[in-house]
Structure formats: C-alpha cells, structure tokens
C-alpha cells in the first residue's frame, strides 16, 4: 500500500462511524451518552490523533517541504477543517462532561450533524484532489519515508490500537444501512473549485 492508500482506507473506517453519527443526529433518534462517549473516543483517537496526525505531521509536512504552503491553498484549508471538526467534537464532549448524565440533546445533534457534514466533504476533497496532488509530487523515496513515518505513528499509538478502533467502528455502524461509496459531489465537498478556494 502507498501512504495515500493507507489514508484512504482509514477514511472508509471513519465514514462507517459517520453513518452512525448521522443516524443519532436525526431529530427523533435517541441519544445514549455511553455510545456518544465511544463515538467521541473514536473521533479523538482514531480520526484525529492517528489519521489527522499522519496527515498534519507527515503527509502535509512533506508536501510543505516540496513547495506547498501552510498559509493558503489546499493545506491551509485542510488544516482549518481539522480545527473546525475538533471544535464540533469539543462541543459534544462538553455536554458529556457536565456530569449529570443528561447532555443537551439539541446541542449534541447540531454538532454531530455539523461534524459529519464537514468530514464527508473534507474526506471527499482529500480522496479526489489532495492525495492525487501529493502522489504526483512525491518521489519513490518520499513515499517510502512516509510509509516508515506512518509505521512509527502506529507504534506510538500502541500495539492493537488500530485494530481496537476498527472493531469499534464496525460495532457502532452495525445497524446502519449500507451506503454506497461516498460521492464527493453529493457530499458538497467539491464543485468546480479544485483549488480549494472555499
Ligand atoms: Fe484531513
Ligand atoms: Fe483524511
């Protein structure tokens, strides 16, 4: 597997959990604080620390070394979207941390829906635009160095961590209807703007 193939595979795992997140965000759906805590843990550990960590500290960093800017353009947009996602998840986590076992359901649903919408668009942009850009930029030596860096991230996460979160994603999404492979256009991620100007 190439580094971007690894990241695309991680997207598929994240998308499974987004299916469940969207179910919970529906107006009449019940909200179970215990399940919500598992979703927050998945997003913070797998989606953010592991996946976004590989992107920000390895993939994007190497793209920056090869001439892309962190101050504008695709990397700046991707970094801003990671931060926006963290803010939505923080809002959900704050409701869970109130300690009374009764999170404000409307705040939870609003932020879950916003997170899922943001991430679907974000993933579509990376899969269809950013990763192909990276692949045409990197040399074979760059690709090998990235693979080794990704392996270091996995070992820092701890043995079995990746598998644990794969299993959690499967469990969370077990009752979700299967969705076709995401459609980046339908997801609102890309229009006629391949330069990430919005
Ligand atoms: Fe990303
Ligand atoms: Fe990603």
What is the chain's Cα-based Rg?
Answer: 17
Q: What spacing in Å lies between the alpha carbon of 46 and ligand 2's midpoint? A: 11
Ligand 2 geometric centre to CA of 98 (Å):
30
- In words, the CATH class of domain 3-172 is mainly alpha
Closest ligand to Cα 56? 1
pLDDT in tens, 37-75: 999 999 999 999 999 999 999 999 999 999 999 999 999
**In this predicted model, what pLDDT tens digit does every residue of 123-135 receive, in sequence order?**
999 999 999 999 9
Domain ranges of the chain: 3-172
* The predicted structure's pLDDT at residue 180: 57
Rounded distance from Cα 5 to ligand 1 centre (Å):
14
Over the stretch 91-118, which tens digit does the pLDDT of each residue have?
999 999 987 778 999 999 999 999 999 9
């Amino acid at each position: 597997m190439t580094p971007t193939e690894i990241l695309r595979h991680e997207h598929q795992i994240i998308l499974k959990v987004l299916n469940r997140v969207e179910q919970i965000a529906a107006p009449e759906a019940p909200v179970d604080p215990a399940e919500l805590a598992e979703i927050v843990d998945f997003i913070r550990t797998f989606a953010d620390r592991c996946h976004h960590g590989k992107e920000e500290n390895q993939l994007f960093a190497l793209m920056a070394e090869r001439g892309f800017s962190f101050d504008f353009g695709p990397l700046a947009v991707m970094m801003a979207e990671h931060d926006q996602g963290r803010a939505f998840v923080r809002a959900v986590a704050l409701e869970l941390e109130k300690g009374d076992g009764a999170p404000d359901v409307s705040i939870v649903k609003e932020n879950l829906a916003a997170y899922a919408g943001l991430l679907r668009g974000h993933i579509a942009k990376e899969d269809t635009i950013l990763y192909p850009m990276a692949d045409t930029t990197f040399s074979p030596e760059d690709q090998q160095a990235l693979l080794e860096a990704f392996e270091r991230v996995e070992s820092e996460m701890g043995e079995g961590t990746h598998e644990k979160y794969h299993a959690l994603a499967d469990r969370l999404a077990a009752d979700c209807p299967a969705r076709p492979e995401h459609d980046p256009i339908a997801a609102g991620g890309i229009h006629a703007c391949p330069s990430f100007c919005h």
